[in-house]
Structure 1
Amino acid sequence: MDAAAGAAVERTIVGRPLLYGVQRRTIARELAAEHGGVVHRRTLAQHGIDRHGIRHEMEAGRWFRAGRHTVAVTGPDLGPEALLWRAVWESGSGARLDGASALIADGLTGFTHALIDVSLAADNRHHPVEGVRLHRVAVPSPNVRAGIPRVATEVAAIHAGQWAVSNRQAALLICLSVQQRLTSPARLGLAWRGVTRSPRRAFLGAVIGDVTDGAHSLGELDFTRMVRAVGLPEPTRQVVREGPKGRVYLDVSWDDVGLVVEIDGGHHALALNPIDDALRQNDRVVAGERVIRIPVIGLRLTPNEFLAQVRQMYDVLARNQIR
């Protein structure tokens, strides 16, 4: 090979001519825009930017090393999206976002996480990455098809509940996933039925039941048993009242004092249900009854506090009856 031919080879990479100067930086910015300001070295190479070009930009202070594979082309400080891409690229072959991090990539709001959860096959090579919590799994869950590699939302929600720091956080992540319509109760319930072993199995099964089938979970909670434990008489369940638009079904009632308790399953926060709930509650207040609302998840997490409120309200109404 003569010198000219050798030079031509050096100026090409994977079938593309090497890029220089402004053109190189323009292409890199366009590629990085899809990943929050970072780009994988392999992607740069596929577009004609080799390791020498990368090194030149870094030495000039225009680009920054963010890992073995990750190049920051818009500045040294990585934003939330860039950190997620970096976590996947740097953790190992087949890595994908999982748990709360996958939910955040799906659009979850109202929750922040100090660590990025990433899972990959247990027999794949892996690398520790600062700020990343790595989960090595025997059978990796399938990836979603678009965007950053991550597990399906309903799988991520279940894993988020398993890896949460507390029952309260686990319940929050499960509920937010459904309330923000990242997944449906049906898909979440189907995914849960496929889980054979799980930390917090009893608690997560109860919470997922609350979210996917509130009426059924209410029976399992046995609210009547709970109120008897705090010294209250047995209430009437599934009470029928006549409202302005016909029959209204209430969860629990003590007719002797005019106290109604409504226990809201996870579905009560969806769509127009809060409007219907408010109208039904207001009708009972107008009719002279007192109404206490209890989220069914609240009975899982803080039963004593809610039952104390019911006990106090019952006692107040009973004293008023005597007067």
Structure 2
Amino acid sequence: MIWFINLLRKIPGWEKGTAALHRLQELSLTQKLFLVYSVFAIYFLLYHEAHLPLFWMIGLAFVGYIASGILFWGIVYAFRKLETKVELPAIFAEVGIARPTTKFVPWIEASFFLIPVLVCFLTGFFENRSGILFLAVYAVGVLLIRLIENKVYYKIGLLGILILAAGLSSFKALQLTEVWVAYIQFKPSFEEKDLSNWTFDEPSRTLSNPDLKLSVHLPEDFYFHNPKNLNLESKTGIGQIAGIISSSDTDPSRYPSIRIFYFPQRFEDDTQLVNDFKKFLDSLLERGDIQEVNELERESFEDRYYGKFWTFYDVLRPRYAKTGIFILEKHKEPYTLVFLISESLIKGRKHEEAVEKILSSLEVHSE
């Protein structure tokens, strides 16, 4: 046996590997757990961002790992502060009376419940009623365990609610970074101009922009979202966003929606625009926002619009839907307007009735 061990020592790097193993064994349980957590976290993050170029994939994985790592050690620190020592009179020990030597810190206990509730609210976990029900039932269960004074299960319950909050926070940080990366990737290469000068005439429900010499009629229960009020995700597409018409006054992406994009030059061929939109669609597919994408034939509308459309299954708004672009052809201005349309898939119709009405009412008032 000794000769076998001596043989192993002759393997290059054996001594260094053994020393590293000893150092790992000397780590605390918390540090070992963090190492195991890091292995799984890095693998998951790299797999999740595998659809991006290598630079962005590593960058986003790094951001997600740092956020989750900070939360991991924050939870560890909070748990260490959860209890405080209790100084017991010596007489208790002398007469053999047993008393707890630690007690919970009330304000830290309260924060263990309040902070996860705030995180769930900010990350949209409560937008689904089942999320509210789950957290309420779980919290009541943990409080009942607290009342029966079972410390071990009570701490496990608190750990569960903190892990939920940490997971939601790290995912939200990663999601926001993904939105920023997508915006950078599809950001227009030309110098953008101010396209926020929109006016709305309430009696006629006419929306107009003098800089684009554009006017359009909004049907009842449709709203316009000015580009200056949009977040990065809503601005992402092909070209410079000029505004969004949607069926919600709070959600620009609610179906049906029409995003208006501007290019400062005319396109004799729509190949570039269609290819750019395909890349945009691929990014949504690889992120897992949509599934079952099917390409349709080229399409025209009223001999004024031409473009390309796809059907897909919307994972975020569970339904089959249709999306694509229409390019406004017949006008004399030296720019191009592209309309990115997202709508529900309706059997027997190419587009929703409201979408067709909006496109039909649109006019470019050339001088």
TM-score by length of 2: 0.25
